[in-house]
Structure 1
Amino acid sequence: MSTEESPVEHEDRWLLNLRGRGVTKISVDFRLVLAFDSDWEVALEAPVNLSHGTAHANPSVLLDPEAQDVAESLALFGAKVLSAVAFNSGTLRLVFDTGHHLTCSPDPAFEAWQATGPTGWRFASLPGGGLAVWAGSGASES
């Protein structure tokens, strides 16, 4: 488990406090939602690339939450996060101990994804790119 209490801001990205957290629940409606063994949850609404290992050896699979075409995401159940990065561009990248990489790029028309965490943390990919961040009661846009 991570020892950091809050996400950490860098010049071009935020490191989310998910390292060592396991995926405990996967649900699907018009979104693909990953719940972690903490108070974190990631909801993906736009198509998501899921890859395993290197791109040369294993091409990525496109998951489409709106069409409920996300069966391959079940491989993430029980997986532990090695890295969780929300880029200021609006892209989210999660890397798991199973070798899976999940990447969600911003959507031109709507919020592609959002991550919510303890004590009011919330991150959202803005339509057309960019990142909104709420820490408790405030928000900022990058």
Structure 2
Amino acid sequence: MSTEAEPVEHDDRWILNLRGRGVAGITVDYRLTLALDEGWEVVLETPARLSSWPAHINPGVLLVPETQDVAAALPIFGTKVVSAVAFKSGTLRMVFEDGTHLTCPTDAAFEAWQITGPGGWRFVSLPGGDLGVWLSCRSSSGG
């Protein structure tokens, strides 16, 4: 598990501290939803790339949630997150213990993805390339 309970802000990204949390459920409708341990949820609403290496080395396969073309994501069920980074540019990058990389870029017109967690944390890839960060029910600073 992560040694820090809350996400950590850096100049260009948020480290989401999801290390060690397992993918406990996968739901498919017009979105692809990964339910993680301890109340975290990752929702992809636009195309994302899944590969066994970083995308610049191996482009992998394209997941298209709106057409339910997401079967390639099913093997990550039960795996644990090694790294999860929400870039302030709106891109999400996750790495799983089996070596799978998930990258969801920003979308020009839609919210590409969102992540919600305990304590009111919510990260959203905003249309056009920005990151929205909300922290309800706390007074600490957010991004």
Which TM-score bucket, shorter chain as reference? over 0.9
Distance in 2 between residues matched to 1:56 and 1:133, nearest whole Å: 27
TM-score, normalised via structure 1 length: 0.93
For residue 92 of structure 2, what is the aligned residue in structure 1? 92
Pick which of 55-64 and 41-50 moved more.
Answer: 55-64
Contact 1:115 1:124 in 2 (8 A): yes
Root mean square deviation, CA, Å: 1.8
Structure 2 portions without partners, runs of 5+: none
Q: Report % sequence identity.
A: 66
After TM superposition, list the pairs within 5 Å mapping 1:92-111 onto structure 2. 92-111=92-111
Range 50-59 or range 67-76, more displaced: 50-59
1:10-48 CA deviation, whole Å, 9 max, x = no partner?
A: 000000021000001000010000001111000000001
**Per the alignment, in what secondary structure is the counterpart of residue 39 of structure 2?**
coil
Cα distance in structure 2, aligned partners of 1:100 and 1:117: 22
Confirm or deny: 8 A CA contact 1:131 1:141 kept in the other structure.
no
Aligned residue pairs, count: 141
Q: Which residue of 1 aligns with 2:8?
A: 8
What runs of 5+ residues in structure 1 fail to find an aligned partner?
none
1:30-78, Cα deviation, whole Å (9 max, x unpaired):
0000001111000000001000135587441000000000000001101
Q: TM-score if structure 2 supplies the norm length? A: 0.92
